[in-house]
A and B are shown apart, each in its own frame.
Chain A
Amino acid sequence: MALIDDARPMIIDALEEKPARRRSAWRRPLRTAAFHLSAGSIALLWFAPIALVLLMSFRTFDDIARNGVGSLPQSFSLTAYPDVWEGAGMAQALLNSFLITIPTVALSLFLSSIAAFGLSRYRIRFWRAILLIMLAGNLLPVQVILIPVAKMAESLGLYDSLFAVIGVQTAFGLGFYTFVLYGFMRGIPNELQDAASIDGAGVMRTYWQVVLPLCKPALAALGALAFTWIFNDLLLSLTLLQTDSKFPITAAVLSLLGQYGGEWNLIAAATVIAALPCVIVFLIFQRSFIGGLALGAVK
């Protein structure tokens, strides 16, 4: 978390002001204006596609058919949302997505945190090899395991069930989460653990009552990241699920495109519904989310 260091930017700003004062007085406001102009236009350009789809979801089908997908809205209607929510099964698909995502996030954080706890807080034989092998699994292109995993799910009777998706997603993420949590737990002072063991706490108590509470920032960052990754997955769901009513929202929205081709107000509304949960998670966990992405990038 040291990356999102609040002090550094202030130091940089403080340093930058000195030479600026030496320059002539009019250059600084000019530079600020140039910055806002360039950064602002990039940001607007980036935001425009999102605004476009939002606007489209509030138009009527007649308006889109008459004036084209790309015209400015000539109508306003909220009917697209209830239409896809019930009529096109978005409610069920969203529920499926949560039924997959929430257990997967909880399970993978639990499993990776116990592995990271053992590896970082005790002297385990081959700890380095175990950590690297686990991380390597995460770098594997998922395509390599698709066919065997589908076969395995079939033979275990789990094919076309949400459990299969939860199991594979959980295992596939373990390496990265363990790696990040290992790095975080290594920084926890040993005195705390020593004190706990003097007080008679066993391994599990030390993990649950001492180490885990201290990992909250890392767990929040990983949890938010994992939520969006798992919620947004398409490939594993397409491979392991077959029945439409079990599809998560990514797959459901995609099949909508085939069914409702041309009814762009409906497709846009479904797209907004599919994007909203991740946007909400992002806005709540914004700081730890971005910090989490940067974790491990700078070492």
Chain B
Amino acid sequence: MSTTAPKRTTFRRRVSSPPPAVYALVLIPFLIEAFVVFWPALNGIALSFLSWNGYSEAQFVGFDNYARMATDPVFVIALRNTAIWLVVFGGISFVGGLAVALLLQSERRGVGVYRTALFLPMVFSLVVTALIWNAIYQPSGILNTFLTAIGLESWTRLWLGDPNTALLAVIVAALWRQIGYIMVLFIAGLKAIDPALIEAARVDGANAWQRLRFITLPQLRSVNLVVISILVIDALRSFDIVYSMTRGGPFRSTELLSTYMFEAAFTSRQLGYGSALAVVIFLLAVGVIITYLTRAFADSKED
């Protein structure tokens, strides 16, 4: 493959203009995406300045929908829960995924079975994950049965019905599904590290912790970037599992921006307010990722 790389550049220079058919090949998919994704996205932004129930006349209200968020207690709860989700779900996925990747990175007997066990939940839908964990959290479910069996009966509760535990209970279910995915990304990253680097550190007398801290983690920087972007986007998009397990309840204790957006738009038919919430989700995703990217670039310049 390496021999073809220089030839490609000469090829690009040699062909002056491609046949017209090539433009059609590129433009047809591009225009489909523009029509079904970008145009609606722009419409969504425009909708966020309207007050509209979908049937009667729409009214232009400027930034009223956005101003309303400041005084909307449910929005504040949803924003706080989304932040908790981002930090707890994102943080544990990252650390847990890295930990199992380090444990399962080398090819040895039986490692494939362990990897598959951790990875399998990733192929289930979030609805399936939600139902599996819903069964575990039932009043007579395995979690309460287990706690009773080991003498911790006072700890048993309605995990999804108790506002104090519902959000964490949903996060645990989401983590069960996500960690295997993050593990795969980290294993790929670990495999791409030149083994000679680690061996050199070993020869120099670095212990396992030092090799991890000074060789492996810095070498994983580009993977970290991808993993964090994926986690941020996944966390802000999260909808299925909360909707399937609690629909945002009890008492809004698991309401996320995305579930609140869905409710506002499709249950209480406030299309303008729902759109404004969607725009906020979008801005947060872009904001978090840009902040992280600039910091990551600034860090790499210092080195």
Chain A positions near chain B (C-beta within 8 angstroms): 3-5, 8-13, 15-16, 19, 32, 35-36, 38-40, 42-44, 46-47, 49-50, 52-53, 56, 68-71, 111-112, 114-115, 117-119, 122-124, 127, 130, 133-134, 137, 139-149, 151-152, 167-168, 170-172, 174-175, 178, 186-187, 189-191, 202-204, 207, 228, 231-235, 238-239, 250-251, 253-254, 257, 264, 267-268, 271, 274-275, 278-279, 281-282, 286, 290, 293-294, 296-299
Nearest Cβ on chain B to A11's Cβ, whole angstroms? 5
- Beyond the given A146-B262, A271-B131, please list 4 additional residue pairs across the A-B interface where CB-CB is below 8 A: A44-B117, A69-B135, A143-B258, A145-B40
- The contact of B143 among A70, A117, A167, by CB within 8 Å, is A70
Which residues in A have their C-beta under 8 angstroms from that of B78?
none
With contacts A69-B138, A203-B22 known, is A145 near B37, CB below 8 A?
yes
On whether the beta carbons of A282 and B120 are closer than 8 Å, the reply is yes
Nearest Cβ on chain A to B201's Cβ, whole angstroms? 12
- The contact of A49 among B4, B40, B136, by CB within 8 Å, is B136
Nearest Cβ on chain B to A159's Cβ, whole angstroms? 12
- Residue of B whose beta carbon sits closest to that of A44: B117
* Stretch from B25-33, B60-68, B69-77, B84-92 at the A interface: B25-33
- Residue of A whose beta carbon sits closest to that of B244: A254
On whether the beta carbons of A152 and B40 are closer than 8 Å, the reply is yes
Complex alpha-carbon distance, A35 and B104, angstroms: 9
On whether the beta carbons of B103 and A19 are closer than 8 Å, the reply is no
- Residue of B whose beta carbon sits closest to that of A174: B33
Chain B positions near chain A (C-beta within 8 angstroms): 1, 4, 7-8, 11-12, 15-19, 21-23, 25-26, 28-30, 32-33, 35-41, 43-45, 47, 54, 100, 103-104, 106-108, 110-111, 113-114, 116-121, 123-128, 130-136, 138, 140-146, 176, 180-181, 184-185, 187-189, 191-192, 195, 198-199, 202, 222-223, 226-227, 233, 236-237, 239-240, 243-244, 258, 261-262, 265-266, 271, 274-275, 277-279, 281-282, 285
Complex alpha-carbon distance, A8 and B189, angstroms: 12
With contacts A70-B146, A118-B25, A174-B29 known, is A13 near B108, CB below 8 A?
yes
On whether the beta carbons of B132 and A147 are closer than 8 Å, the reply is no
- Secondary structure at the B interface, as helix, strand, loop or mixed, is helix
Q: What would 6 A/B residue contacts be, using CB atoms closer than 8 Å?
A: A47-B120, A115-B30, A122-B15, A140-B282, A191-B7, A268-B131
On whether the beta carbons of B107 and A10 are closer than 8 Å, the reply is yes
- The contact of B135 among A56, A127, A293, by CB within 8 Å, is A56
- The contact of A11 among B125, B195, B281, by CB within 8 Å, is B195
Which residues in B have their C-beta under 8 angstroms from that of A294?
184-185, 187-188
On whether the beta carbons of B123 and A279 are closer than 8 Å, the reply is yes
Nearest Cβ on chain B to A173's Cβ, whole angstroms? 9
With contacts A50-B132, A144-B41, A297-B189 known, is A19 near B202, CB below 8 A?
yes
With contacts A148-B40, A293-B184 known, is A274 near B125, CB below 8 A?
yes
- Secondary structure at the A interface, as helix, strand, loop or mixed, is helix
Which residues in A have their C-beta under 8 angstroms from that of B223?
297-298
Question: 4 smallest A-B Cβ distances: which pairs?
Answer: A68-B140, A232-B125, A294-B188, A171-B36
On whether the beta carbons of B103 and A38 are closer than 8 Å, the reply is yes
Complex alpha-carbon distance, A11 and B227, angstroms: 26
On whether the beta carbons of A9 and B40 are closer than 8 Å, the reply is no
On whether the beta carbons of A52 and B195 are closer than 8 Å, the reply is no
Nearest Cβ on chain A to B58's Cβ, whole angstroms? 11
On whether the beta carbons of B37 and A146 are closer than 8 Å, the reply is no
On whether the beta carbons of A297 and B185 are closer than 8 Å, the reply is yes
On whether the beta carbons of B8 and A253 are closer than 8 Å, the reply is no
On whether the beta carbons of B23 and A250 are closer than 8 Å, the reply is no
